[in-house]
Amino acid sequence: MAGKRVGLAGLGIMGSAIAPNLMAAGFDLIGYDPDAARRAAFEKAGGRTVPGIAAMAKETDAIISLLPSVRALEVVVSGPLGIVASKVSNLVLIECSTLPIAAKLAARDALAASGNIALDCPLSGTGAQAAVKDLGAYASGEREAFEKVKGVIAGFCSAVHYTGAFGNGSKMKFVANLLVSIHNASTAEAFVLGMKAGLAPQDILDVIAGGAGGSRMFDIRGPMMVSAQYEPATMKVETWQKDVSIISDFARQLDCPVPLFAAAAQLYSAAMARGLADKDTAAVCAVMEEMARVERGQ
Strand ordering across the sheet containing 159-162: 123-124, 136-139, 159-162
pLDDT on residue 296:
86
Range list of H helices, 120-213: 127-131, 143-154, 168-196, 201-208
Helix, strand, coil content of the chain in percent (nearest 5)? 55, 10, 35
**Number of structural domains the chain divides into:** 2
Residue 239 lies in a domain: yes
Query: Does some domain include residue 42?
Result: yes
Q: Is 113 helix (H, G, I), strand (E, B) or coil?
A: helix
pLDDT of residue 190: 98
Of 99, 132, 166, the domain-final residue = 166
pLDDT at residue 298 greater than cutoff 60: no
Share of the chain above pLDDT 90, in %: 96
Among candidate residues 225, 230, 229, 219, the one with its CA nearest the CA of residue 195: 225
Domain-embedded: residue 297: no
Q: What is the CATH number of the domain that holds 225?
A: 1.10.1040.10
* CATH code, domain carrying 19: 3.40.50.720
Let me know whether 10 and 156 are in one domain.
yes
Q: Residue 36: inside a domain, yes or no? A: yes
Shared-domain flag, residues 181 and 160 = no
Whether residues 214 and 96 fall in one domain = no
Give the up-direction half-sphere exposure of residue 44: CA atoms within 13 A in the CB hemisphere.
Answer: 8
**Is 112 in the same domain as 245?**
no
For residue 119, the enclosing domain spans 5-166
> What does the pLDDT average to over 138-167?
98
How far does CA 229 lie from the centroid of its chain?
Answer: 21
Residue type, 271: A
Q: If we measure between CA atoms, which residue out of 221, 239, 197 comes closest to residue 67? A: 239
69-123, pLDDT tens digit by residue? 999 999 999 999 999 999 999 999 999 999 999 999 999 999 999 999 999 999 9
Asked if residue 1 has pLDDT above 50, the reply is: no
Q: Which of 147, 166, 185 is the last residue of a domain?
A: 166
Given 125, 143, 166, the domain boundary residue is 166
Q: Give the Cα separation of 221 and 212 in Å (integer).
A: 17
Residues 123 and 22 in one domain: yes
Write out pLDDT tens, residues 181-212. Answer: 999 999 999 999 999 999 999 999 999 998 99
CB 161 within 8 A of CB 138: yes
Mean pLDDT of the chain: 96
User: Is residue 288 domain-resident?
Assistant: yes
Average pLDDT over residues 3-15: 93
Q: Are 120 and 141 in contact (CB under 8 A)?
A: yes
